[in-house]
Structure 1
Amino acid sequence: IYENLPIRPLINPSPQKVNLSSLNIFTISLHGLVSSIGIIENLLILGVVGFHVRRSVISIWILNLAASDLLATSSLPFFTLYMARGNTWTLGPTFCRIHSAIFFLNMFVSGFLLAVISLDRCLVVVRPVWAQNNRNPELVKKICGGIWALAVLCTIPFYIYRGTIHLPNGKILCYYDYARALLPSEPFDLKALCKHRKEGLAFMKLFLAFLIPLLIIIISYSAVNATLVRRGYQRSFRFVRLVVAVVVTFVLCWAPYHFFIIMEVMAPNGSPLQKHASKALPISATIGFLNSIINPILYVFSCPDLCKKIRHSLGAVMESVLAEDLMELARRRSTARSSISTSDFLMKHRNSNATVCLKTDEQDKAESTANSTQQ
């Protein structure tokens, strides 16, 4: 939608007064709260799983998922700053590309990891012998490395074609600039080229980060359900609830973003439909960020053993802090008591010396008086 706008640097632009409505203030505050919760939540998971849980297949999946979610939630405060400054980007073009690349990297890593985790659980139930012989932490580490490498490769085009766009009203957008790099040497239609690149990136995100992972998740859990029913095993309520929560959360968090992206791409330039999609995209991107906060709740806090470890670790940390505080308080009290004792001893010593001196003076006076009387 911004392809035909004039791209020009602003020379000493006059500062604009940002007027925020009550809805904007609420949205900005909600962003700050969500980012804080996400950062603390994923840091807690990384700390507990990374240092207090034995390395296993599940723990490696969770560590990588938490690392991706932490990366996304750590970039959310900068998006909050963008909104607080009246939807204008003031952190420069380089950081604009980095910030956008982090968002898309998390999108691809989350989709790939959720799909592979679902496939892993499917293999454990459907092919238990194969999983017992081949499923090990070393293989999972290699798979996670391949997932991150593939996600970085998919993110490169979004880094290349991202940049800052200066609008005539003084605002600066952190948005796509499809004409900024990799232009063909022979004569070409710039408008058609930008349109093809825009459509290609939009459908690449839709298929690789949403539709294909969602299809793998649904097929995997359907196979697990069918296998359990065929073998006569009773499905636990917690398993059914987890499966439904994973699918529903993934769809609700990412479907709005991809829906409005496709709407913006397919609608004619300048049409009301395209303008509506462009206004809805920031909100849908925020909903996509919520997936990074809900994922740990679904995959980590649904595990009772891990919850016990987290509570135990937090309890150990609090006990350590309280123990250090109590030791410091006891040390200060001991120091204060020793100081008081020393002061009392010195005062008593001085008083005794003064008493001895007074007694000596009285004795001298009495002796001198007696001598004069005898004389």
Structure 2
Amino acid sequence: MRQDLMEKGNMARPTEMNLSQVDPTDETPLRWGLASIILVSFLVGTAMNGHIFWLLCVKMKRTVNTIWFLHLTLSYLVSCSCLPFFVVQDVLNFRWVFGPFLCRAVNFCIAVGMLTPVFLLTIISLDRYLITCHPVWSRRNRTKPQARRVLAGVWTLSVVMSIPYLVSYVIQGDKKEVCEKNFAFFITEDKDKAEALHYKIDLAVFLVRLLLTFLFPFFIIVGCYHWMCQEIKKKKLARKAGKPFQVLLVSVACFFIFRLPFYLYYALLLFHKDQRKTVEVLRIIFSISLCLNICLTPILYLFVGEKFKQVFRTSTIVLLKKGFIMPIEDTNAGEESSHLNDGSSMQMMPVQWNNLASP
């Protein structure tokens, strides 16, 4: 009979973020160090994502492109909202003091916040591909109502895929209550049977998530960028693609770089949990990388494609316009123009359809 994924008292079962579930035998400085990183990520991530979310909602015209990034920013805010719970849990040495409801709700929300950006970045990449390589089709079908329907599907898929985390997290422990994942929580008498069932379900969930939220999106996005680069090179559209292309490319690259340690850590727990030192190193790396992904992504929107000093001399709204408006995409009668609420506006140049590829 397989033992549980984690040996009780030595290592906790992996949680959705596992940011604060530090080995109880860890040194206090390590726990406080991770708690400090999570806290800083919460403050920076909430401030930056909140600021950009507000600008996209209030200061920029609602277009297909801004709608994509509005929801991407919202997904990061969902993740940020859960971080304080992990800070407290880490400070209390893995003890959960918020009750069973928040145990499930927080891990469910963090799962939704982690899954949604994967699907959104895939959709945005496909959107950029269609604009670049199939402009006529995009011109006819790329509308805000259609974008909202796609987004409804994205959020629904994220919620559905997060349901296993909603039902599996329970409060366990006699002397110290901990919030941990247990897919076999309903089996209380046969411990070996419960551990075996938990392992099988956890493995199945991991494999499905690995395929649907990492490998498939990765290959789709790489394929989109390959054909986009070919088209841009062929039609000499590099200048027209500009900063929006760079922003999306860097966002996708950072996303996969920051998320890779999570899957490596989880795979090691499932298949080689005896390598404790490696597991601990990967746990620390992926905990930090997920925090960086949440708080650094909005900063990249401003700095990519800009000189460092110029960023501090330019208003945020202007930098966002440069990052989120793509001159080669269809404007749909001026749809992709952005404006300030005081009435000032900046109209985009008309797209030269004869310079773009036909569908």
TM-score range normalised by the length of the shorter chain: 0.7 to 0.9
Q: Output the CA distance in 1 between the equivalents of 2:96 and 2:193.
A: 29
Seq. identity, % = 24
Q: Deviations over 1:305-355 (max 9, x none)?
A: 98335899xx99xxxxxxxxxxxxxxxxxxxxxxxxxxxxxxxxxxxxxxx
Asked if structure 2 preserves the Cα contact closer than 8 Å seen for 1:162 and 1:174, the reply is yes
**Runs of 4 or more consecutive aligned structure 1 residues displaced over 6 Å after TM superposition:** 303-306
Q: Output the CA distance in 2 between the equivalents of 1:42 and 1:242.
A: 15
Residue matched to 2:36 = 29
Asked if structure 2 preserves the Cα contact closer than 8 Å seen for 1:62 and 1:300, the reply is no
Residue matched to 1:202 = 206
Q: CA deviation at 1:60?
A: 0.6
Residue matched to 2:121 = 114
Specify the SS of the correspondent of 2:170.
Answer: strand
Q: Deviations over 1:160-187 (max 9, x none)?
A: 11122317xx443322111124x7xxxx
- Root-mean-square deviation (Å): 3.3
Residue matched to 2:255 = 250
TM-score normalised over the length of structure 1: 0.69
Residue matched to 1:277 = 279
Q: CA deviation at 1:257?
A: 0.6
Residue matched to 2:48 = 41
Q: Output the CA distance in 1 between the equivalents of 2:274 and 2:209.
A: 24
Q: Output the CA distance in 2 between the equivalents of 1:88 and 1:279.
A: 22
Residue matched to 2:181 = 176
Asked if structure 1 preserves the Cα contact closer than 8 Å seen for 2:116 and 2:155, the reply is yes
**Amino acid in structure 1 at the alignment position of 2:270:** V
Q: Output the CA distance in 1 between the equivalents of 2:7 and 2:320.
A: 55
Counterpart of 2:229 (choices 225, 229, 241) is: 225
Asked if structure 1 preserves the Cα contact closer than 8 Å seen for 2:5 and 2:269, the reply is no
Specify the SS of the correspondent of 2:179.
Answer: strand
> Structure 1 unaligned runs (5+)?
7-17, 317-375
Q: CA deviation at 1:233?
A: 3.4
The change in CA–CA distance for 1:52 and 1:234 in structure 2 (over 3 A counts) is: closer
The change in CA–CA distance for 1:303 and 1:145 in structure 2 (over 3 A counts) is: farther
Q: Output the CA distance in 2 between the equivalents of 1:152 and 1:52.
A: 29
Q: CA deviation at 1:117?
A: 0.6
The change in CA–CA distance for 1:165 and 1:99 in structure 2 (over 3 A counts) is: same
Q: Output the CA distance in 2 between the equivalents of 1:90 and 1:278.
A: 24
The change in CA–CA distance for 1:244 and 1:57 in structure 2 (over 3 A counts) is: closer
Q: Output the CA distance in 2 between the equivalents of 1:153 and 1:229.
A: 40
Q: Which has the higher contact order (CA 8 A, sep 6+)?
A: 2
Counterpart of 1:260 (choices 244, 249, 265) is: 265
Asked if structure 2 preserves the Cα contact closer than 8 Å seen for 1:203 and 1:262, the reply is no
Q: CA deviation at 1:154?
A: 0.3
Q: Output the CA distance in 1 between the equivalents of 2:108 and 2:284.
A: 16
Specify the SS of the correspondent of 1:179.
Answer: coil
**Amino acid in structure 2 at the alignment position of 1:307:** T
Q: Deviations over 1:270-328 (max 9, x none)?
A: x522675267436524422322223323446659898335899xx99xxxxxxxxxxxx
The change in CA–CA distance for 1:239 and 1:61 in structure 2 (over 3 A counts) is: closer
TM-score normalised over the length of structure 2: 0.72
Residue matched to 1:127 = 134
The change in CA–CA distance for 1:42 and 1:55 in structure 2 (over 3 A counts) is: same
Asked if structure 2 preserves the Cα contact closer than 8 Å seen for 1:98 and 1:159, the reply is yes
Between structure 1 and structure 2, the one with the greater Rg is 1
Residue matched to 1:330 = none
Residue matched to 1:296 = 298
Residue matched to 1:51 = 58
Q: Output the CA distance in 1 between the equivalents of 2:145 and 2:90.
A: 43
Q: Output the CA distance in 2 between the equivalents of 1:237 and 1:129.
A: 21
Asked if structure 1 preserves the Cα contact closer than 8 Å seen for 2:125 and 2:221, the reply is yes
**Amino acid in structure 2 at the alignment position of 1:308:** I
Q: Output the CA distance in 2 between the equivalents of 1:97 and 1:85.
A: 19
Specify the SS of the correspondent of 1:272.
Answer: coil
The change in CA–CA distance for 1:232 and 1:92 in structure 2 (over 3 A counts) is: same
Asked if structure 1 preserves the Cα contact closer than 8 Å seen for 2:243 and 2:305, the reply is no
Counterpart check, 1:307 vs 2:349: no
**Amino acid in structure 2 at the alignment position of 1:214:** F
Residue matched to 1:327 = none
> Structure 2 unaligned runs (5+)?
10-24, 307-313, 322-339, 342-359
Q: Name the one with the larger helix percent.
A: 1
The change in CA–CA distance for 1:163 and 1:286 in structure 2 (over 3 A counts) is: farther
